[in-house]
């Protein structure tokens, strides 16, 4: 075991050349030891039973290190003698990715540029590079090309898992393993380059994965009656995750994550006291994320638009919830001997009645004109029978005058005549033409309560 040469640099670091006699012994080694006596790196010359000896070392004015390597053929006449001069330069790795931002399921391409060559120039043994993502996922990098300034480029790809877990900053390390060189940086190759003791050069970085904007395809149920009790809404779509929140008219709901394509949410009864169409959306937290497209949920009053279609007013309630509850109770308990429901509603809302002495009794010629639900073609019930009785009072509207309780073609035409006569609809193209909805019910009450 001989120490042949040693020199120091401007930082008082020591370059030390040592070698061993005898076939089968370890190779000749150049070591760099810093001013604190820490071994930073070693470069080994694999002699393979012949003597490759470092016989010269020097530093230039820029601190670059040079050494000569001599092969001694004294014990094997088949090899001519030769010398090599080579430079040891700083080991560096820089990297880039194919994008700045990623979503779950994207593929990221890593490009690493390094002063490490594709092979060890002394032995021809391949060098290696890899990336370790999130501490445990190893992605090999393959040699791609050599740049004009002599650096090498290595490339590899990594598919980000498709399971969305929201915004994440994911760390990674790039590791280089250079044959016959050991360092004070530990690497984690399953099969490192030769004579490295799984050490090399390591740099760290990270990339951002953002929660995508959720997509809402459908909801179930799509419609409930105003005044219905609390219920569970199912939302179907994509890009959902555990922090996704369903929203009703922009207000967050108690939400349960089922999977990336489905959520459930509790809709309180207080949300559907009034009729209307309300925007249902899904929100994913930032960074990234955002609010989905909207799907309309219908709280139905029981009847149509102009004449019977679904009534879709803007959600601007004029009465307090306590008053609305009272109105609902009045409607649910109404009988023919009860004071006029319309008058009761006015009283409950703090107004005055149209005719506080008006009552409806069993001896009244016409039945009640109060309808609390939609009526349309195909229905058969007592409400339809009352409707027919009211319409039959005017022969121009319902000349047939059949009182059957079934909403057929003749009843539909009678409703249409009523709607046109009292301008409930603007034309026969109105979507509620021939159906009894809120506007038609209001007009029936207005006309027949007189």
Q: Which residues contact 218 (CB under 8 A, 6 or more apart)?
A: 235, 236, 237, 295
CA distance 270 to 268: 5
**Boundaries of every domain in the chain:** 2-88, 93-210, 215-300, 321-448
What pLDDT is recorded for position 219?
94
Asked if 266 contacts 275 with a C-beta cutoff of 8 angstroms, the reply is no
The number of helices, as runs of H, and strands, as runs of E, in the chain is 5, 26
> What are 221's two structure tokens?
């149920």
CA distance 220 to 293: 16
- Whole-structure pTM value: 0.57
CB atoms under 10 Å from CB of 253, counted, come to: 19
What pLDDT is recorded for position 316?
36
What pLDDT is recorded for position 256?
96
Cα torsion 3, 5, 6, 9 to 10°: value is -150
Asked if 225 contacts 332 with a C-beta cutoff of 8 angstroms, the reply is no
**Strand extents, DSSP E, 228-355:** 231-238, 245-248, 251-252, 255-259, 262-267, 276-284, 290-291, 295-300
What pLDDT is recorded for position 252?
94
Q: Which residues contact 316 (CB under 8 A, 6 or more apart)?
A: none
CA distance 399 to 16: 118
- Which residue stretches of the chain have pLDDT < 70? 1-4, 20-27, 46-55, 71-83, 301-365, 450
CB atoms under 10 Å from CB of 241, counted, come to: 20
Distances (CA, A) of 355 to 28, 141, 166, 358: 115, 88, 62, 6
CA distance 419 to 426: 9
**Sheet with strand 51-59: strands edge to edge:** 51-59, 65-72, 82-88
Rounded to 5 degrees, φ, ψ at 114 are -145, 155
SS3 49: coil
Helix, strand, coil shares, percent, the chain, to 5: 15, 40, 50
- CATH number for the segment(s) 215-300: 2.60.40.10
- Angle at Cα 11 formed by Cα 9 and Cα 15, nearest 5°? 40
Task: Tell me, yes or no, if the two domains 93-210 and 321-448 fold the same way.
Answer: no
Q: Which CATH class, in words, describes the domain spanning 93-210?
A: mainly beta
- CATH number for the segment(s) 321-448: 1.10.101.10
Distances (CA, A) of 34 to 11, 66, 295, 425: 8, 17, 67, 93
Asked if 178 contacts 152 with a C-beta cutoff of 8 angstroms, the reply is no
């Amino acid at each position: 075991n001989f120490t042949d040469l040693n020199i120091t640099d401007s930082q008082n670091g020591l370059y030390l050349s040592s070698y061993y006699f005898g076939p089968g012994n370890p190779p000749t080694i150049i070591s760099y030891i810093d001013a604190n006596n820490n071994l930073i790196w070693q470069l080994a010359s694999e002699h393979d039973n012949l003597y490759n000896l470092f016989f010269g070392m020097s530093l230039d004015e820029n601190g670059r290190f040079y050494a000569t390597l001599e092969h001694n053929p004294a014990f094997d006449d088949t090899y001519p003698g030769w010398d090599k001069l080579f430079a040891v330069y700083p080991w560096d790795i820089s990297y880039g990715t194919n994008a700045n931002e990623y979503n779950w399921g994207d593929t990221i391409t890593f490009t690493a540029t390094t002063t490490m060559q594709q092979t060890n120039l002394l032995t021809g043994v391949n060098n290696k590079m890899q990336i370790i993502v999130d501490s445990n996922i190893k992605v090999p990098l393959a040699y791609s090309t050599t740049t004009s300034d002599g650096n090498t480029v290595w490339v590899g790809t990594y598919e980000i898992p498709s399971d969305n877990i929201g915004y994440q900053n994911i760390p990674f390390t790039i590791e280089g393993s250079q044959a016959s060189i050991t360092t004070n940086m530990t690497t984690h190759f399953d099969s490192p380059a030769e004579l490295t003791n799984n050490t090399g050069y390591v740099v760290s970085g990270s990339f951002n994965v953002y929660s995508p904007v959720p997509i809402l395809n459908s909801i179930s149920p799509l419609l409930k009656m105003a005044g219905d009790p609390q219920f569970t809404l199912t939302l179907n779509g994509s890009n959902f995750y555990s922090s996704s929140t369903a929203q009703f008219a922009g207000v967050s709901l108690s939400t349960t994550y089922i999977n990336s394509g489905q959520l459930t949410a509790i809709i309180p009864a207080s949300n559907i006291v009034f009729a209307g169409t309300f925007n249902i959306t899904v929100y994913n937290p930032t960074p990234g994320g955002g609010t989905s497209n909207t799907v309309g949920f219908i709280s139905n009053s029981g009847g149509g638009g102009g004449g019977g279609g679904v009534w879709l007013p803007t959600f601007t309630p004029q009465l307090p919830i306590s008053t609305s509850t009272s109105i609902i109770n009045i409607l649910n308990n109404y009988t023919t001997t009860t004071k006029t429901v319309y008058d009761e509603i006015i009283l409950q809302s703090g107004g005055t009645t149209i005719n506080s002495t008006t009552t409806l009794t069993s001896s009244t010629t016409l039945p009640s004109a109060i309808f609390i639900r939609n009526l349309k073609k195909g229905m058969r019930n007592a409400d339809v029978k009352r409707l027919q009785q009211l319409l039959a009072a005017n022969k121009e509207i319902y000349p047939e005058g059949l009182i059957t309780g079934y909403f057929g073609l003749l009843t539909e035409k009678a409703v249409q005549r009523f709607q046109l006569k009292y301008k409930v609809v603007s034309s026969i193209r109105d979507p509620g033409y021939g159906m009894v909805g809120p506007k038609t019910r209001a007009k029936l009450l207005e006309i027949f309560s007189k």
